[in-house]
Amino acid sequence: MFDIHRVEIDWGGRKLKLETGRIARQADASVLAHYGETSVLATVVAAKSAKPGIDFFPLTVNYQEKTYAAGKIPGGFFKREGRPSEKETLTSRLIDRPIRPLFIDGFKNETQVVITVLSHDMENDPDILSMVAASAALTLSGLPFLGPIGAARVGYIGGEYVLNPMIDEMTESSLDLVIAGTQDAVMMVESEAKELSEKTMLEAVMFGHRHFQPVIDAIIKLAEKAAKEPWDIKLPDKDKYKAQVKEIAEATLRQAFSTAEKQKRNDLVAEAKKKVVEGVTIPDDPSEKVLLMDTFKSLEMDIMRTDVVKTGRRIDGRDLKTVRPIVSEVHVLPRAHGSALFTRGETQALVVATLGTGEDEQFVDALEGTRKERFMLHYNFPPYSVGETGRMGSPGRREIGHGKLAWRAVRPLLPAHEEFPYTVRVVSEITESNGSSSMATVCGASLALMDAGVPMKAPVAGIAMGLIKEGDEFAVLSDILGDEDHLGDMDFKVAGTANGVTSLQMDIKITGITEEIMRIALDQANHGRMHILGEMSKALSGAREELGDYAPRIETIKIPTDKIREVIGSGGSVIREIVAESGAKIDISDDGTVKIASANRESIEKALHRIKMITSEAEVGQIYKGKVVKIMEFGAFVNFFGAKDGLVHISQLAPGRPATVGDVVKEGQEVYVKLLGFDDRGKVRLSMKIVDQATGKEIPREEGAEPEEEMHRERPPRRDREGGRGGDRRPRRDRD
């Protein structure tokens, strides 16, 4: 019934198994992949023909995690998986980026790759296995895919590179690098690093490339057993309209690609396109219109790319290494905790930093379990930033991906939570865009965080590198424009400090690049990054020493764990009362760490005082302010130390014994008391008469007065003191 084929290799100390022919047999191809006890199913389905008039390759990659893979039931009301999580979106992009360039040019059949996590062993992250499974399924499918690709994760622990480190090992690693590529070249890199050198990063990339070669060999071995026949693809004649388009549009396009201003350049390109549409006669067929526009785009690419490679001059007149003019500004929003406006050429990011408390942390519900995230970075790309109208709404895959890239670049520079106990959110609003808005976000985020007073380890900046490769000739471009990204071969983003790299992301549109090109790109990026850091320092070179006027202050104290219950109170009654009275936010951890936050120092002091009164022990001899809570015939009970009550005996209410307690105090009255001590039963004894009730200060003893201890001690009746009956009033000499 089943025609099952399997391959198995030892990879990074664990078994990698690839199987096909048992599950999802109606898909064009399916592969069940296992690594350790993590399992994923990858399927590929493509339409048999392209939709008429489609002018792009409609590839969709969907990575999905099922909670049953980790033995969990989804949270929430509906109890089933819902919209994709951030992890699922980012992994979908991670798989898409290396496989998309490997489909043959001109293939436009709708294609869907679905990867489902079926089992998760909490040791091996499913993302690498998913890339391998997707590559294997595409290779088996018969689609015009120029793979297979391999993929790997590289860690750097104790000065050594580690292949596919386990999840718990990543906490010790100063590098998290994901790489994918073919047998000959690197296709994609995504990484986060703790200020590592360019040399270390390049060696990590090449280490990963070497060590995923056995995976490619295994996929080829499986394909030899189970691959389907290649599809018969009929591609259009690319040269059909080439001569006509060149004659009509070349002059205008050359003028466009020597115009520095983006809007004027776009207008000239639109003018050239209009001339072509009006000047070339084509059949009334949507596919012919697509072919004409593809020919026009090819001419655009030829003009721009040839000029750069031959002359070393770029669209806006720069040479290959020059960075566009930079203007850095901070504190541009008066009420924000920290803000920056970073402008580089025609790319601009308005970045805002907001400080919060523990209750502002993001809860992330992942297969590995629920965790808290105290640093968030959100990237927004509104259509006005490129002078267009468009959809406004929840963030798309691109916005999530760009935000995560900037997050990776900045996070290694944040202070430890013990040093800076704040939750931090950064929002980047891209207000203008002409290339590398994600790297503008990195620069703006660094400035905004320092403006907010976040003690970053060092400022961080980013730069996007490009590549134009024609045959054996190539040119690496620093700080690329949008058109250079769109018409070029590589988008290589590098972020870091003056000390090293913190993030690296690379996407290739051709079939890969060599180690030599990567080395040149990294070296050129280093020079560009140093220049950008210098320009940023003109606005702010380090974190401000004080937080902004509107930022919350956080006071941290430690209380005994057995006092936590008292501070919280029954059903949270006590802590709610403290919050209501003080106006401060209070967060209590299980280890007794209490964080009190407010922009108002007085609010913090009020909350701090209440908590200390509850958790501290009263000291004999100290004076406290309290409130009369109950009146009895023999004295008044005063709440004087948080939840503590004590008795002021009628003899200690005022100088001279009052007739009644009510003559001196009333319930609810605030009074000052001195703690005299504790009786034999541990009951608190207080005194009011030795404290000035107006000032709260102790009344000085007059010369010759009884010692304080004698004055405080309650005396027995006279008869007890003299050993006789109270009615015997005779002089001592008579009694003797």
Written as one string, the DSSP assignment of 430-483 is EEE-SS-HHHHHHHHHHHHHHHTT---SS--EEEEEEEEEETTEEEEEES--HH
215 is written with which tokens? 């995976």
d(CA 60, CA 95): 10
Chain CA centroid to CA 668, Å: 51
- Mean pLDDT is lowest, of 181-190, 622-631, 715-724, for 715-724
Q: Is 124 helix (H, G, I), strand (E, B) or coil?
A: coil
Distance between the two ends of the chain, CA-based, in angstroms? Answer: 125
Q: What is the mean pLDDT of residues 619-643?
A: 85
Nearest alpha carbon to residue 591 among 552, 624, 564, 555: 564
Every domain range in the chain assigned CATH 3.30.1370.10: 553-615
Side-chain half-sphere of 267: how many Cα atoms within 13 Å?
7
> Which residue, chain included where needed, has tokens 């003797």?
736
Helical residues (DSSP H) of 26-151, grouped into ranges: 86-99, 126-141
Side-chain half-sphere of 401: how many Cα atoms within 13 Å?
18
Every domain range in the chain assigned CATH 3.30.230.70: 5-226, 326-537
Q: Is 345 helix (H, G, I), strand (E, B) or coil?
A: coil
Q: With 90 as the cut, is the pLDDT of residue 730 above it?
A: no
Every domain range in the chain assigned CATH 1.10.10: 242-311
According to the 3-state scheme, what is the secondary structure of 200-224?
Answer: HHHHHHHHHHHHCHHHHHHHHHHHH
Q: What is the dihedral of CA 9, 12, 15, 21, to 10 degrees?
A: -60
- Mean pLDDT is lowest, of 107-116, 143-152, 702-711, for 702-711
Those residues whose C-beta lies under 8 Å from the C-beta of residue 506, and which sit 6 or more positions away, are 186, 188, 189, 490, 491, 492, 493, 518
Q: What is the pLDDT of residue 709?
A: 42
According to the 3-state scheme, what is the secondary structure of 66-93?
Answer: CHHHHCCCCCCCCCCCCCCCHHHHHHHH
Q: Is 308 helix (H, G, I), strand (E, B) or coil?
A: helix
Q: What is the pLDDT of residue 642?
A: 63
Q: What is the pLDDT of residue 618?
A: 73
d(CA 650, CA 632): 9
Q: For the segment 544-573, what is each residue's pLDDT rounded down to a tens digit?
A: 999 988 898 888 888 888 889 888 988 888
* Cβ(226)–Cβ(21) below 8 Å: yes
In this structure, whether the domain defined by 326-537 belongs to CATH 3.40.50.620 is answered with no
Nearest alpha carbon to residue 437 among 481, 496, 486: 481
Q: With 60 as the cut, is the pLDDT of residue 585 above it?
A: yes
Nearest alpha carbon to residue 202 among 562, 676, 524, 574: 524
597 is written with which tokens? 């936050």
Q: What is the pLDDT of residue 86?
A: 94
* Cβ(358)–Cβ(381) below 8 Å: no
Q: What is the mean pLDDT of residues 87-95?
A: 96
Q: What is the mean pLDDT of residues 152-178?
A: 96
- Mean pLDDT is lowest, of 29-43, 313-327, 400-414, 650-664, for 650-664
Q: With 50 as the cut, is the pLDDT of residue 157 above it?
A: yes
* DSSP 8-state class, residue 698: B
d(CA 331, CA 339): 5
Q: What is the mean pLDDT of residues 485-500?
A: 93
Q: What is the pLDDT of residue 721?
A: 41
Helix axis angle for 601-615 and 573-582, nearest 10°, is 150
Domain 5-226 fold:
Ribosomal Protein S5; domain 2 (3.30.230)
In a 10 Å sphere around its CB, with 0-12 CB exposed, 13-18 middle and 19+ buried, how is residue 655 labelled? Answer: exposed
**Which residues on adjacent β-strands are paired with residue 326?**
344
In terms of CATH architecture, what is 242-311?
Orthogonal Bundle (1.10)
* Cβ(505)–Cβ(191) below 8 Å: yes
* DSSP 8-state class, residue 634: T
Chain CA centroid to CA 3, Å: 45
Q: What value does the CA radius of gyration of the chain take, rounded to a whole number of Å?
A: 37
Q: What percent of the chain has a predicted confidence (pLDDT) above 70?
A: 95
Q: Is 425 helix (H, G, I), strand (E, B) or coil?
A: strand
**Which residues on adjacent β-strands are paired with residue 495?**
462, 503
Which helix (DSSP H) or strand (DSSP E) does residue 330 occupy?
A: strand 326-330
Q: What is the pLDDT of residue 168?
A: 93
* DSSP 8-state class, residue 563: G
Distances, alpha carbon 515 to alpha carbons 206, 210, 217, in Å: 8, 12, 21
Q: With 90 as the cut, is the pLDDT of residue 15 above it?
A: yes
Q: With 80 as the cut, is the pLDDT of residue 716 above it?
A: no
d(CA 361, CA 101): 38
pLDDT tier, 339 (very low <50, low <70, confident <90, very high otherwise) = very high
Burial 353-375 (b: 16+ CB within 10 A, else e): bbbbbbebbeeeeebeeeeeebb
For 507-512, which contacts have Cβ atoms below 8 Å and span 24 or more sequence positions? 507/97, 507/188, 508/98, 508/101, 508/185, 508/186, 508/187, 508/188, 509/101, 510/101, 510/469, 511/101, 511/102, 511/146, 511/182, 511/184, 511/185, 511/187, 512/181, 512/182, 512/184, 512/185, 512/186, 512/187
Q: With 70 as the cut, is the pLDDT of residue 712 above it?
A: no
Q: With 80 as the cut, is the pLDDT of residue 725 above it?
A: no
d(CA 419, CA 414): 10
553-615 belongs to which CATH class?
alpha beta
Q: For the segment 251-300, what is each residue's pLDDT rounded down to a tens digit?
A: 999 999 988 888 899 999 999 999 999 999 988 888 889 999 999 999 99
* Cβ(466)–Cβ(480) below 8 Å: yes
Q: What is the mean pLDDT of residues 533-545?
A: 95
d(CA 177, CA 189): 7
Task: Render 609-630 in DSSP notation, one character per residue.
Answer: HHHHHHHSPP-TT-EEEEEEEE
Those residues whose C-beta lies under 8 Å from the C-beta of residue 511, and which sit 6 or more positions away, are 101, 102, 146, 182, 184, 185, 187
Q: For the segment 669-699, what is each residue's pLDDT rounded down to a tens digit?
A: 999 999 888 877 778 889 998 998 888 888 8
Indicate the pTM of the whole model. Answer: 0.82
Mean pLDDT of the chain: 90
Q: What is the mean pLDDT of residues 605-627?
A: 83
Q: With 50 as the cut, is the pLDDT of residue 614 above it?
A: yes
Distances, alpha carbon 633 to alpha carbons 648, 676, 685, in Å: 11, 20, 16
Those residues whose C-beta lies under 8 Å from the C-beta of residue 734, and which sit 6 or more positions away, are none
Report the alpha-carbon angle 503-509-513, nearest 5.
70
Domain at 623-722, CATH homologous superfamily: Nucleic acid-binding proteins (2.40.50.140)
* Cβ(454)–Cβ(420) below 8 Å: yes
Q: For the segment 19-78, what is each residue's pLDDT rounded down to a tens digit?
A: 999 999 999 999 999 999 999 999 999 999 998 888 899 999 999 999 999 999 988 788
Nearest alpha carbon to residue 446 among 417, 416, 479, 406: 406
**Which residues on adjacent β-strands are paired with residue 481?**
none
